[in-house]
A and B are shown apart, each in its own frame.
Chain A
Amino acid sequence: DAKTTQPNSMESNEEEPVHLPCNHSTISGTDYIHWYRQLPSQGPEYVIHGLTSNVNNRMASLAIAEDRKSSTLILHRATLRDAAVYYCILRDQGAQKLVFGQGTRLTINP
């Protein structure tokens, strides 16, 4: 699986939008971009994924660059419960396993 690069940590304020970046310059045409998050003392939780087009769901939005070499996870209105480690993962269409990197530790200030 191709590698991703994320900032080690980010900080934001409650009720403000959060933009979590991910660089994946070596992405291949069959790689899906997945985002998971892990809240303290819990297992990873699926957030969103996409291939080429931007995606929206009840949790977040995923903005994918036109060249697919980067993406941004958008939390539209952060709450304290969004404080977690966020993982950006590339996953080939045929790949079963997830390969986790270090992720971005997001801190939300009240």
Chain B
Amino acid sequence: GAGVSQSPRYKVTKRGQDVALRCDPISGHVSLYWYRQALGQGPEFLTYFNYEAQQDKSGLPNDRFSAERPEGSISTLTIQRTEQRDSAMYRCASSSQQRTAGNQPQHFGDGTRLSIL
């Protein structure tokens, strides 16, 4: 079946512009996660949703970052007034829900490469 789909694959924008990154999880997956990955580093958690509810946003760097998942499927990560330090690979993952979350694999998309000029 189809995996996690992210769009666009690449986004180049000028500093100060807003950007919206989209994630389409695996069909039926209840949980959706956003991570950010700097070059040469492992992914860093940003936020996650169960269905449409944002359960943890502790990893969002500041209030310019927000995410939503209004119908419990597709999610959008929005960065307002972008800065050069926001340049990174943004990755989305999804998983089906089980009673013990730690026992459930996450499936990652190929990411969106964001470059702020």
Our count of residue pairs bridging A and B at CB distance below 8 angstroms stands at 66
Complex interface: chain A residues within 8 A of B100 (CB): 93-94
* Residues of A in contact, count (CB < 8 Å): 27
What CA separation (Å) do A43 and B107 show in the bound complex?
9
Instruction: State the main secondary structure of chain A at its contact with B.
Output: loop
Across-interface contacts of B109 in A (CB, < 8 A): 43
B31, A43: Cβ atoms under 8 Å? no
A45 at the interface (CB under 8 A from B): yes
Chain B interface residue number, banded: 20 to 34
Instruction: Check A102–B102 contact: CB distance below 8 A.
Output: no
Bound-state Cα–Cα, A44 to B105, Å: 11
Residue B8 CB within 8 A of the other chain: no
Give residues of chain B (33-75) contacting chain A, Cβ–Cβ below 8 Å: 33, 35, 41-45, 48, 55-56, 59
Give 1 or 0 for each of A86-109: 1 = CB within 8 Å of chain B CB.
010001111111111111000000
Rounded to whole Å, the gap between the CB of B5 and the closest CB of chain A is 11
